[in-house]
């Protein structure tokens, strides 16, 4: 499993913007490109990505994002991420997402994410 990918997803649960930014800096390049179903256009750069992750931690307090599986081929890493925490009714909930990451020099240069894992 890529340490930079795991480090990046650890940042999702950090509510303090400075601490979250430091975690992100340890995982991605300065001009990171990030896309997922909730981003209408590509997020570019650490500052914009930090703001985006801040929305997650603010809207889903106590939730975490954990990498549960990875594999790499042709320089692209596919990873399954479990987003989980207590739902509005107090029960534990988990939602899976799948991301594809490109890295350079041990840091992520691009993330592309999808809801679910593509399984029916």
Model-wide pTM > 0.85 = yes
Over residues 8-62, the pLDDT tens digits come to 999 999 999 999 999 999 999 999 999 999 899 999 999 999 999 999 888 888 8
How many alpha carbons lie under 13 Å from residue 38 in its C-beta half-sphere? Answer: 7
Q: How is domain 3-113 classified at the architecture level of CATH?
A: Roll (3.10)
Domain ranges across the chain: 3-113
DSSP characters over 28-78 = EEEEEEEE-TT-SS-EESHHHHHHHHHHHHHHSTT-EEEEEEEEEETTEEE
1 pLDDT more than 60: no
Contact (CB, 8 A) for 104 and 28: no
Over residues 106-116, the pLDDT tens digits come to 999 999 999 99
Residue 112 makes CB contacts below 8 A (sequence gap 6+) with: 35, 36, 99, 100, 101
């Amino acid at each position: 499993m890529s340490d930079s990918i795991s480090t990046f997803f650890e940042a999702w649960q950090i509510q303090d913007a400075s601490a979250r930014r430091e975690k992100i800096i340890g995982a991605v390049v300065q001009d990171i490109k990030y896309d997922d179903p909730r981003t209408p256009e590509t997020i570019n750069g650490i500052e914009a990505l930090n703001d985006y992750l801040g929305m997650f931690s603010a809207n889903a307090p106590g939730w975490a994002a954990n990498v549960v599986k990875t594999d790499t081929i042709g320089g692209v890493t596919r990873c399954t991420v479990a987003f989980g925490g207590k739902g509005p009714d107090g029960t534990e909930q988990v939602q899976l997402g799948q991301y594809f990451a490109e890295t350079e020099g041990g840091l992520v240069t691009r993330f592309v994410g999808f809801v679910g894992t593509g399984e029916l």
